[in-house]
Amino acid sequence: MSSSNRSSTENKTITLIAAAATFMAAAALLNICLGASRISLPQLWEALLSGPGTSAASRILWYVRLPRTAACLLAGAGLAVSGTVIQKVLANNLASPGIIGVNAGAGLAVAICSGFGMYSAWVIAGSAFLGAMIATFVVVIVARKSSASRTTVVLGGVAVTACLNAVTETIIVLIPDAALANVDFRVGGFSAVNHARLVPAAVLILAGIVLVCTLTNELDVLSLGDDTAHSLGLRVNRMRNGFLTLAALLAGATVSFAGILGFVGLIVPHIARRFIGNESGRLLPFCALMGAGFVTICDLAARLIFAPYEVSTGILLNFLGGPFFVWLLLKRKDKHK
């Protein structure tokens, strides 16, 4: 009885993860093929086999669509996993990298780098990570010192985000050459993505996701509460700080090439939990795949809905994320009635 139930749960997990992988692959294929200039499947196949060439389809594929799609996939996976980790560690389903100031901290770090002429992609990715980490720990320390409720943590994050964004905006205004005065950085988007920016971030994001996925048991034990986790032999503070650092790494690396992309880390974990439950071993890989597919589809929609005009992906995400956050608040209110 119990082992058959276990295997049916495992079968369901495998089916859902395969479905998420298919969704991600389909989103990537559509994002590569569709746009102002369409690439047919035979053209895609030929351009992939021949490598970067001189034909229009080949150049569009290798220099525009592939980097952009890779960026979407990485950003989606990174932010979704970062959001899941933050929500679990803080035991707060309203928390996400965009809401508790993590993205804003990374954004400020990128603005400072660009403002002061540090254009090395590794320096930018590393700085974004540091900025994200500092913002994360400021919010967490303030929350802990004030014994804050879950909602207060979110409000603290909003305050920190506002301060950090104000400094970022000031840098953008004072140093216009910083090349950040585009909407894509402020609200997040992929129109300015290039290989150089992407490679260091990709290394950090993929390494971060792999590492988090090997620590799913620790993450679940931590979410049982400090006392229970400690009594199970977990070094609670060390693990919590480690997870927050990894979440900051994922969000920071994403901001370094995609700008301040909001709500992915909030929306995706919530939807994913509804399908696959809250156990990290299943949830994290599922979130990574769903997040990758979700951001890629949003990017495609942002390019196509107002064609020939293109809106930033972040704008579309804000359109979706704002109402979603309000819905979450209302749902919590109903739950507490």
Partner 1 sequence: MISIHDLHASYEGDEILHGIDAAFPEGKISVLMGPNGCGKSTTLRSLVRLVPQRSGRIEIDGQSADTYTPRDLARKIAYLPQSRNVPDIAVRSLVMHGRFPYLSYPRRYRPEDHRKVQEALEWVGLSDLADRKMENLSGGQRQKAYLAMALAQDTDVILMDEPTTFLDIRNQFDLLDRAKQLARQGKTVIMILHDFEAILRYADHVILLHDGSVLQEGRAEDVLRSTSIPEAFRVTPVFYQGDDGLHCYVHK
Please report, as ranges, the residues that interact with partner 1 according to CB under 8 A. 2, 5-6, 9, 91, 214-215, 217-218, 220-221, 223-225, 227-228, 230-235, 273, 277-279
Tokens at 17, concatenated: 């993860």
What's the closest the beta carbon of residue 319 comes to partner 1, in angstroms?
A: 29
CA angle 252–256–260, rounded 5-degree value: 75
Q: Which is nearer to partner 1, 43 or 278 (CB)?
A: 278
Q: Which is nearer to partner 1, 2 or 54 (CB)?
A: 2
Closest CA to 80 of 223, 213, 270, 222: 270
CA 85 – CA 45 distance, rounded (Å)? 38
Burial of residue 40, with CB atoms counted within 10 A of its CB: 0-12 exposed, 13-18 middle, 19 or more buried:
exposed
First to last CA, the chain: 38
CA 315 – CA 38 distance, rounded (Å)? 24
Task: Decide: 171 and 112 in contact? Cβ < 8 Å.
Answer: yes
Tokens at 114, concatenated: 């660009």
Burial of residue 247, with CB atoms counted within 10 A of its CB: 0-12 exposed, 13-18 middle, 19 or more buried:
buried
- Cβ partners under 8 Å of residue 282, min gap 6: 13, 16, 17, 276
Rg over CA atoms, the chain: 20
- Cβ partners under 8 Å of residue 100, min gap 6: 86, 90, 135, 136, 139, 153, 154, 156, 157, 160, 161
CA 280 – CA 154 distance, rounded (Å)? 23
The verdict on whether omega for the bond into residue 200 sits within 30 degrees of 0, i.e. cis, is no
